[in-house]
Amino acid sequence: MSKLVRTGLMAGAMAMILAVGTTAPAYARGGDGGEETGGGYEVEVSVVFSGDAAPDGGGGYTISMPATCWWEQMSYDGWPEKNVPAVDGTSAEAMLKWYDAYVASLGSSSTGAGWYYSLPPREWFQQQAALEDAGTDVTFYTPQCQGDDDWPLLVELGYTDVYDGGDFLGQIPIVLNAWEVNVSPPEPVVDPEDLAIEAREVMEIAAPEVDRNPKMADGSAATFVNLPTWFWVTDPQSVGGEDGELSVRAEVVGSPVWAEVTAKTGGLSIASPAGSRECDPTLAIQPWQAGLENASGCTVEFSRASVAYPGGYPVTASTFWNATWEGVNQGGAEVGGDLDPLEQSVTVNVPVAEVQSVVEGDG
């Protein structure tokens, strides 16, 4: 857990309350919290994957994904007309001077329409300056969020402290914080649905490699017309085992956010120009064994020989997976929904011969 430098942020003190859209220059996105991409602002997030479909068996990974909210080092270009200095969030003494100038430039607290945000009280800036004087350097950060409703989202997700503005203003997010220089700010907030999408993308669902029986021993490995041919997957996990289910869970390190993706399949589909079959997982994982009834396995009867297909019929073994997700967001709310389905397939050539063509006469 990150160690928070400040203590008793709002104890007995009035914060500087501002309305979004005031004439003061906005805080600029500085720092290295992430990067702008075509799909929005992305950050590097530490994630732990687990589950029977986790990549490489699970473990910790760093992934790049859209951020909902994140902390960036304070960057303010200054307001020369109002004598407000530029600051970069690396000096507590400079931040105290900035606060005094900034508050003086704005006059009374804003009561305009729109969302409100709050700066900490002057006493807090003095606390940071005292820490700095005592040899503990701190760095100042501001929170950022995607979209137009940044400030309410900070409150909803519990990503920053709040000032109680009473019945009129409600819970107002405090948009400045400080941590010791060797302590990182909290991990970025990510939407659990975005996390679920990332988890779905890395799910390890094996392609359904199949074996079959019978196979002619003459080197052609052909099966026969109108004879039940058994197909089974060589890896039962490629159809989710008997239950036809696989899952992967992704947990953001240092955050309550997690998402778990569950993929379910109806089993194995065998498709060819001369015979097809849908088999549930319990049939698809059953290898041929002498003495077993054909109803115990996934069998296909080919209606004609494959003479028109050099090398045999193209037989496609495939699995189709419906994907759902559930999880918890930064504020602790349970969420979930549907994701795009997944599909895996393998195509092999299966020669099919007429039974009579391989029957030898008596002489």
pLDDT in tens, 288-323: 999 999 999 999 999 999 999 999 999 999 999 999
Strands 223-224 and 352-353, how do they pair?
parallel
For the segment 144-172, the average pLDDT, to the nearest whole number, is 78
Whether 95 has a pLDDT exceeding 90, the answer reads yes
pTM of the model: 0.75
Q: For position 156, what pLDDT does the model report?
A: 79
6's tokens: 């400040």
Nearby residues of 197 by Cβ (< 8 Å), 6 or more positions away: 339
**Domain layout of the chain by residue ranges:** 16-180, 202-358
In contact, 46 and 118? CB cutoff 8 Å: no
Neighbour count for residue 135 (Cβ, 10 Å): 6
Neighbour count for residue 74 (Cβ, 10 Å): 23
For the segment 235-258, the average pLDDT, to the nearest whole number, is 96
The alpha-carbon radius of gyration of the chain (Å, integer) is 32
pLDDT in tens, 353-363: 998 644 444 44
pLDDT in tens, 14-47: 445 554 433 333 333 333 344 554 445 788 889 9
Q: Is 344 exposed, middle or buried (0-12, 13-18, 19+ CB in 10 A)?
A: middle
Find where tokens 């008997």 sit: 242
Residue 160 pLDDT class (50, 70, 90 cuts): confident
